Structure 1
Amino acid sequence: MQFPDSPLARAADELLRAACAPTLVAHCHRTYHFGMALLENQRRAVDAEAVFIAAALHDLALTSAYDDPTVPFQAHGARLAQQGLLARGAGPDLAELVHDAIALHLELTSATDPRPEVVAVHLGAVADVVGARLDQLTPRFVADVLDDHPRHGFTAFVTAAFGHEAAARPDSRIAVLVRDHGLLDLVAAAPFED
């Protein structure tokens, strides 16, 4: 399973691998694969480079190195990604698209966003965190993604990260999802063995 091989995509993957624990690296890679496959099922054209960069960096601010205690992680991570892309010479349209895909990946309405890149990151992340829409993918494809990018305790990792985010920022989107939508129960019930 290949990733886009542009300089910006490689730089995003290098940052992901340098900043994040292996379980989070693998989650970001699974987010890309699941999101792209779900968009392919919808027969929607998509900018694979933008999806990969956004998927690679969508949880960057969950790490201690990039955490900002005053800003929800998805907003802070979106800003960091946008600034980093612009500093590396990316066009403003790509930088804004990646920003929005990261900033909006927790919004339930992102599944119907007119920009397929935003949809892909949202659907890919939700598929990997709670197992949503995995039934729209072949079991062989899901197994291959999990073989290539093992979970290695991701359920425990993401449960702790979401719990920390909700406690530290009680008005954040994660706090609302935990409190009002039972996010941690959905994570626990996801159809994964890890």
Structure 2
Amino acid sequence: MDGAVSPAKPPVGSWDWLTETGGVLTAKERLALVPSLAGTFGRFSLDRLRLAVRARPRHGLAAEDLWPAPPDSQLCRHAEQEARDLQSPAVVNHGYRTWVFGAALAKLDEAMFDPELFHAASLLHDLGLEHTEPGRCFTRRSGESAEAVAERSGLDRAGSLEMMNGIAMHITPGLRYDDSALGFYLQAGAMADLAGLRAWQLPKDLRARADQAYPRQRVHEVLSRCWHAEAQAVPNGRAHFADKWGGFSRIVKWFPVAK
């Protein structure tokens, strides 16, 4: 008699994985993520150097070419209100800059995603980070908030799950576009904003315009502190993994992006 086939495990970092595990990595999963984490932090160093020497991107585009148009929808209005009600101004503005930078990088990459879902997810992706819960990854809380916003806005379940999955995935080292388009560019936008990863590819006037429109308000100190608290609250979670082996909270604290 053939043995029963075990169901496939959900991808690490996905919404299904998050709800199944609470966001805690197994030893095997942590080991598998080491090369991706090492590669990411190697690119941080290179991109910092590019910013320091004011390397110019080859595309020759300016802010007006890459600045995204905010979607005019009930979903985005509700997401903006949720973000402002439940986050500090520093984190709200980080969400907006994540949207600007992520959308600009996607345009440079000629990548496609739903702009409405990306705008809403950008504003909500760190909503759970300022209020830690022991043993429960902050992206679960952020995703649940996105789910509630989606329901109030009448978004279909597929769109809601796409947002929730992107938010869940965005802190996973080695994330690929094919894993989650929203998650990939949430990560790209957030890392450009907080650590300078790929920031040199963005026109200087776009970065300056984003900082003027959505001031930083000591966000590097705020999110460094929040990330460290999250790492302590969820041992062997992805935040803990990135902080222990990559010093992520220190990178964020000591690397304000060049204006």
Q: Normalising by structure 1, report the TM-score.
A: 0.91
Contact 2:194 2:257 in 1 (8 A): no
Query: Which secondary structure state, in structure 1, belongs to the residue aligned with residue 174 of structure 2?
Result: helix
Corresponding residue for 2:205? 140
Query: Could you tell me how far apart the structure 2 residues matched to 1:86 and 1:128 are?
Result: 29
2:96 to 29, 33, 39: 29
Contact 2:169 2:180 in 1 (8 A): no
In terms of mean alpha carbon deviation, does 114-123 or 39-48 score higher? 114-123
Matches within 5 A, 1:147-162: 147-162=212-227
Q: Normalising by structure 2, report the TM-score.
A: 0.69
Query: Could you tell me how far apart the structure 2 residues matched to 1:121 and 1:87 are?
Result: 23
How far did 1:89 drift? 1.8
Which structure has more relative contact order (CA 8 Å, sep 6+)? It is 2
- C-alpha deviations, 1:4-37, integer Å up to 9, x for none? 1100110000010111111011000000000000
* Bigger Rg over Cα: 2
Contact 2:224 2:250 in 1 (8 A): no
- C-alpha deviations, 1:10-69, integer Å up to 9, x for none? 0000010111111011000000000000000001122110101111111111234xx543
Query: Which secondary structure state, in structure 1, belongs to the residue aligned with residue 85 of structure 2?
Result: helix
How far did 1:75 drift? 2.1
Does residue 129 of structure 1 match 2:194?
A: yes
Q: As a proportion of its length, which structure holds more helix? A: 1
How far did 1:116 drift? 2.6
Corresponding residue for 1:51? 118
Corresponding residue for 1:14? 81
Unaligned 5+ segments in structure 2 are 1-66
Structure 1's consecutive aligned runs of 4 or more residues displaced over 4 angstroms after TM superposition are none
**Root-mean-square deviation (CA), in Å?**
1.8
**% same residue:** 27
Unaligned 5+ segments in structure 1 are none
- C-alpha deviations, 1:95-148, integer Å up to 9, x for none? 011001100110122243354322211111111121100011111111111111
Query: Could you tell me how far apart the structure 1 residues matched to 2:148 and 2:256 are?
Result: 36
- C-alpha deviations, 1:51-94, integer Å up to 9, x for none? 01111111111234xx5434110122113312431343211111
